[in-house]
Structure 1
Amino acid sequence: MTKQAKFNEVKENLFPILEKYVPVVDRVHGPHHPEFHEVRAIFETMNEKVKANGGNHPDLQQEFLRMREVTKNYTVPGDVCETYDAVFQMLEKIDQAYEA
């Protein structure tokens, strides 16, 4: 499977879920984890770029670099719910597919 095909497959499966989960996690956990506000903003930028590029491979290098920095390489805080954890796992999976 090519890099583009792998990313597209993961993107098609996970972006719709993240579109639903990220705002909810931000609303619930943002007051205690303000860094998640930035996670949301980065994801929204990525989502806009993905939609604007259609089937092409969008340039998300800067967004993934910043996402890794903000999330400390997708390290889940100890005081959050399973949905927060799931969001980080999905973001990491997309990151890995993009870099593969």
Structure 2
Amino acid sequence: MITFNEYMTKNSEKLELFTKAIIRAHGKNHPEAFDVRELYTQMQTKTKEAGEEKPNLDEEFSRLRQVTNNYLIPGDVCETYAAVYNMLAEADQAYQG
């Protein structure tokens, strides 16, 4: 099983790009995209600061689950939006594991 830090290292570049893209594409109809981007940015900062240690992201993942309705993909979004939710759900699972 992949660790959280390994998962973030592998997917951070894509998540960085995709979380910005969903704001531009869906921010008007899905204001939660801004919260997702902000929470992801906070997670990235904490992960980098923690180095090899596992960061404390309990609060960020709790908020992400609330904001995304447990990563439920809205029916009117693009594949990039869906990918963000899927990757964040996988990151959450790796973090909890």
Rounded Cα–Cα distance in structure 2 between residues aligned with 1:54 and 1:23: 24
Unaligned runs of 5+ in 1: none
Unaligned runs of 5+ in 2: none
RMSD value over aligned CA atoms? Answer: 1.1
| Within-5 A mapping of 1:43-58 | 43-58=40-55
Q: Kindly provide the amino acid, as one letter, of the partner of residue 69 in structure 2.
A: K
Rounded Cα–Cα distance in structure 2 between residues aligned with 1:49 and 1:71: 21
Q: 2:29 aligns with which of 29, 32, 35?
A: 32
The size of the alignment, in residue pairs, is 97
Rounded Cα–Cα distance in structure 1 between residues aligned with 2:95 and 2:56: 10
Q: 1:89 aligns with which of 82, 86, 90?
A: 86
**How far has the Cα of 1:9 moved from its partner?**
1.7
Q: Kindly provide the amino acid, as one letter, of the partner of residue 88 in structure 1.
A: Y
Rounded Cα–Cα distance in structure 1 between residues aligned with 2:59 and 2:44: 14
SS of equivalent residue, structure 1 residue 74: coil
**How far has the Cα of 1:27 moved from its partner?**
1.2
**How far has the Cα of 1:11 moved from its partner?**
1.2
**How far has the Cα of 1:48 moved from its partner?**
0.7
Q: Kindly provide the amino acid, as one letter, of the partner of residue 52 in structure 1.
A: E
In the alignment, structure 1 residue 66 sits paired with structure 2 residue 52: no
> Which residue is equivalent to 2:13?
16
**How far has the Cα of 1:53 moved from its partner?**
1.2
Q: Greater shift after overlay, 59-68 or 7-16? A: 7-16
> What percent identity do the matched residue pairs reach?
45
Rounded Cα–Cα distance in structure 2 between residues aligned with 1:17 and 1:63: 19
TM-score by length of 1: 0.92
